[in-house]
Each structure stands twice: as C-alpha cells, then as structure tokens.
Amino acid sequence: MPETWVYVAGGVVIGMLTFAIAYTLISGYVKFNEKQNDLKEFSSLTSDAKLVCYGGKDNFLVKSYTFSENLKIIYATNNISCSYDADCNYPLERCENNFCLLQKPVEAIMNKQFSFGKNICLQFKDETELRCEKIVCNVSFQPIGVLPETVDIWAAVSKILGRGNYRNFMLNLTKESFDTINITLIE
C-alpha cells in the first residue's frame, strides 16, 4: 500500500499540470481576442481613410483608435510582395518572406518618419506577414505602433499597474489634394 506522501505528491503534480494547461488556454484566448479587436480597429481605420479619400479636397476626420501590445506597426507602402530588396522602397524597407517590411519600425515610429503608398498595412509583433488594405488615394502616413516597455515609459507603467499594454491613437485623416490623403498622429 503506497504511503500518503505519494498521494500528496501526485495531487500536487496533477494540480500544477491542470493550472499550466488552464493558464495556456486562457492566455491564448485573450491574445486571440486582442488580435481580433486590433483587426477590427484596423478595418475601421482603412474604412475611414477610404471615406476621406472619396470626399473633396480638405475633407478631414479626427478619430481615436485603440490597439493592443500585439501591434508592431501600421504604415503606408506601395509594395506589398517582393522577391528582392530592390522590389521594396529600399533602404527603408527590406524583403523578408516575400513581404516588404520596414527595416527599423521602432525608429520609424519614434522619429515620426512618414511612409507613402496606396496600401495601409498592419504587422503584428509575432508575425512576419503584412495585412494590407488598398486605398484609392496616395497615402502619406505617420507610422503608429505600440512601442516596447524599454522605449515607452507609459507602456512600462501600464504593465506594472496590471492594465495591459493598450495604446490609444488620435489620428487626423485629411485629404490634401485630389489624390492624396495625409494621416498624422495628434499628440
């Protein structure tokens, strides 16, 4: 007959295993929902950009968009797919896994370096592909993204307070000319 400590040890192991599985499932579910909300906000942004594009010159819209910490960057580009770096807006973009990706997204966000093109693209931190939406107008876009805690003090404070790392962006979408819209961050 096994001793009591065997039952206790077995119970502890089964309890830890159950907790680990539940934690993994719940965190995966939360991350999935955050990405879905990010995609919904991205869809709203591109719809608003199209709405401003179809309006007359000086048509504008000021709106707030909220993204989770899963977002790496949103920017404008002409080239989505590529075979070589020369297919992209090199040296700002590089060809990786047949997508034109910004070389240094954190620096582009921090330096407020404008991107240009007819596609507004979103990239998540854990993905290499782009999710893009074509816009009829040329787009001049100040890239936005959720910066890491090492760069953005407010991201670190939110994480310490247990609020999650969400970022609210107030954007001004303005039709500058017949075929160009400008999307800038209002700080």
Closest CA to 132 of 54, 66, 78: 78
Residue 173's pLDDT is what?
96
| pLDDT value of position 54 | 93
Contact 37, 65 (CB under 8 A): no
Angle at 49 between CA 71 and CA 69, to 5 degrees: 10
Q: What is the pLDDT of residue 181?
A: 95
Could you say which residues of the chain have pLDDT below 70?
Answer: 1-2, 83-86, 89-91, 149, 154-156, 158, 162-164
Q: In sequence order, which residues have a C-beta less than 8 Å from that of residue 166 and are 6 or more positions away?
A: 66, 67, 68, 69, 146, 158
Identity at 107, one-letter amino acid code: E
Q: Which two tokens stand for residue 42?
A: 């991205």
* pTM exceeds cut of 0.75: yes
